[in-house]
Structure 1
Amino acid sequence: MSQLSADEIAAYLDRLGVAGPVRPDADALRVLHRAHVLTIPFENLSIHLPGEEVSLDLGALVDKIVTRRRGGFCYELNGLFAALLEAVGFGVERLSARTYSAMRGAFTYPLDHLALRVTDAAGEVWLADVGFGKHSEMPLRYAERGEQSDAFGTFRLVETTEGELDVLLDGAPQYRVDPRALALADFEPGRWWQVTSPASLFRQALTCSLPTPDGRVTLRGRKLITTDAGGKRERVIRDDAALLAAYRDLFGIALTVVPTVVPAAKTHN
């Protein structure tokens, strides 16, 4: 499967709550980007659910995110979003990015993140990213080097001496983009590492997160973290039925079993 069918486009737009048809212009890109960010959770549950796989196959992405109304992480969310944008007439390039680790004070490895460079019908170029967990609500102007105000903070794109692009949120580095376009299949090594490596944060812990009208709601394992105008609150959900209800009611994710972290086996040389 190489492209979305008309029925899949219609179902995807319905999932986002966006009425079609969609024109490949800047206004439509903003609508689609915002709807995606606010509707589809950032989550890594498939890694920790029996019988589930994380696949970059387009048919599998449609089945998971559109049909089963699940979320995913960057390769899945931006991978499918890119297919939707291409299907309605945008130009899309898939870019490798290295995320910034505050703990190590350095950027990670290539292919750690997938971001999108999108060109609209007027020729304007955008950085779109619906798969970073906490990022911009709207696409960012790719060529703009000044501050870009967004509902989720102030962003800035800074070009490095090597020609890469650093993405900053409120002055803090988020990730570094390699401007060379890749195919979705090129991210397969990154997908494999995130799913299988004992060093992968996705392998080590559960996460499910979604912005709300005035904040964000996140499940990290059994810890429910809610941020809104009243501040930040945390509580642990110990009952399995209550945890499944939280996934359903807060994220629209219907599960029959509680996802459980099973540490990846460490290899020895």
Structure 2
Amino acid sequence: MSDSMWQGSGVDLDAYLTRVGYEGDVAANLATLQRLHAAHVEAIPFDNLDPLLGRTEVPLDIAHVQEKIVRQGRGGWCLEQVALMAAVLERIGFTFTAFAGRTRIRTGSPFGPALHVALAVHAEDGLWLHDVSFGAYGLHEPMRLMDGARLDGDFSFDLVREMSGERVLRFLRPEGPAELYGFTMDMRYPSDFELLNHFCLTHPRSPFNHRVVLQRTQARVRHLLVGNQLTELRPGEPAAVRELDEAEVLAALQEIFGISLRSADIMALGKVLACR
């Protein structure tokens, strides 16, 4: 195991860059940060399939997350993806901290557990919110981490600060802003990731251990599959929602989300879906 906090020296950087389709030089600057963020979210989906397949551990050390996400072509949930990205950024030479956020868009409440994690990265002229793992409603590229910041594009976002002191990342939809998550800048460490990981894997109120949740964030289209309900988001259009049957869910793994599963896992997941 690496002796650095985020295990950056254990990263196979060439393999990671190939996995996300990143070409060209890498350096600890804003241009690299932006290109890495976009490449990662385009290539690597949010994937909670391991607990549904009966796996009782989802390790966060760099050896395991690389094997799963980089070499096996899988996705991962936010803790795995941010652990991988933190190691990559540390290896390249970036300075950053991790923080945790309370997801609001799926709960409708600002008081849920702080299960989502992301990074605050120093680059050139300031601090940047670098969040590669929120999924279909999340950022495609980093945005400035400051009150009132706004990121405009096909999908737009802003950051507002509430009276409580929490910042809130909002997805600016045509029908009005949707609050994604609230957060403070309290630092989180790999040991905190382990506690959150245990909750996500085992707790009866975890949103990730009892139904399929797959998400993919591409430049012009985003997809979210929860259970058998598929949501597609395109710029300036209402969300398109439809129900999938068991065969369509299994086909969507590769066709929509780009997830490569071993044949034995596909069969096991099919049995899980048939029982629900």
TM-score bucket of the superposed structures, by smaller chain: 0.7 to 0.9
**In the alignment, which residue of structure 1 is the partner of 2:84?**
80
Instruction: For residue 54 of structure 2, give the secondary structure of its aligned residue in structure 1.
Output: coil
CA distance in 2: counterparts of 1:226 and 1:141, whole angstroms: 27
Q: Secondary structure at the match of 2:39?
A: helix
- The answer for the alignment partner of 1:204 in structure 2 is 210
- 1:238 deviates by 2.9
Shift of 1:81: 0.7
Letter in 2 for 1:165: R
Q: CA deviation at 1:20?
A: 4.4
| Local SS of the residue matching 1:204 | coil
Tell me the residue number matched to 1:238. 246
Distance 1:162 1:43 in 2: 32
Distance 2:152 2:232 in 1: 24
TM-superposition CA deviations, 1:178-199 (whole Å, max 9, x none): 2121212212221111111121
Q: Give, as a single letter, the amino acid of the residue that structure 2 aligns with 1:236.
A: L
Q: In 2, distance between residues paired with 1:102 and 1:10?
A: 36
Kindly state the Cα deviation for residue 53 of structure 1 after the two structures are TM-superposed: 3.0
Structure 1 residue 80, shift from structure 2 partner: 0.9
Report the counterpart of residue 18 of structure 1 in structure 2. 22
- Do the aligned residues in 1 keep the contact of 2:10 with 2:63 (CA within 8 Å)? no
- Residue 34 of structure 1, CA deviation: 0.7
**One-letter amino acid matched to 1:142:** L
Q: Structure 1: where are the runs of 5+ without partners?
A: 264-269
After TM superposition, the score normalised by the length of structure 2 is 0.83
Structure 2 residue runs of 5 or longer lacking an equivalent are none
Please give the alpha-carbon distance, in whole angstroms, between the structure 1 residues aligned to 2:187 and 2:11: 28
* Alpha-carbon contact 1:13-1:20 (below 8 Å) kept: no
**TM-superposition CA deviations, 1:4-63 (whole Å, max 9, x none):** 448701100111111243011111111000111111001111111134631211211111
SS in 1 for 2:256: helix
Moved beyond 6 Å, runs of 4+: none
1:151 corresponding residue in structure 2? 154
- More moved, 141-150 vs 218-227: 218-227
What are the within-5 Å matches in structure 2 for residues 1-269 of structure 1?
1-2=1-2, 3-5=7-9, 8-51=12-55, 53-100=57-104, 103-110=107-114, 112-120=115-123, 122-133=124-135, 134-153=137-156, 155-170=157-172, 171-228=177-234, 232=240, 234-239=242-247, 243-255=249-261, 256=263, 257-258=265-266, 259=269, 260=272
Could you say if the C-alpha distance between residues 132 and 103 of structure 1 is closer, same or farther in structure 2, counting changes exceeding 3 Å?
closer
Structure 1 counterpart SS, 2:22: coil
Q: How many aligned residue pairs are there?
A: 258
Aligned-residue sequence identity (percent) comes to 32
| 2-structure distance, mates of 1:85, 1:243 | 34
TM-score, L = length of structure 1:
0.85
With over 3 angstroms needed to count, the CA separation of the structure-2 counterparts of 1:106 and 1:213, relative to structure 1, is closer
Distance 1:81 1:262, change over 3 A: farther
Query: Offset at 1:159?
Result: 2.6
- How far the C-alpha of 1:100 sits from its partner, in A, is 1.5
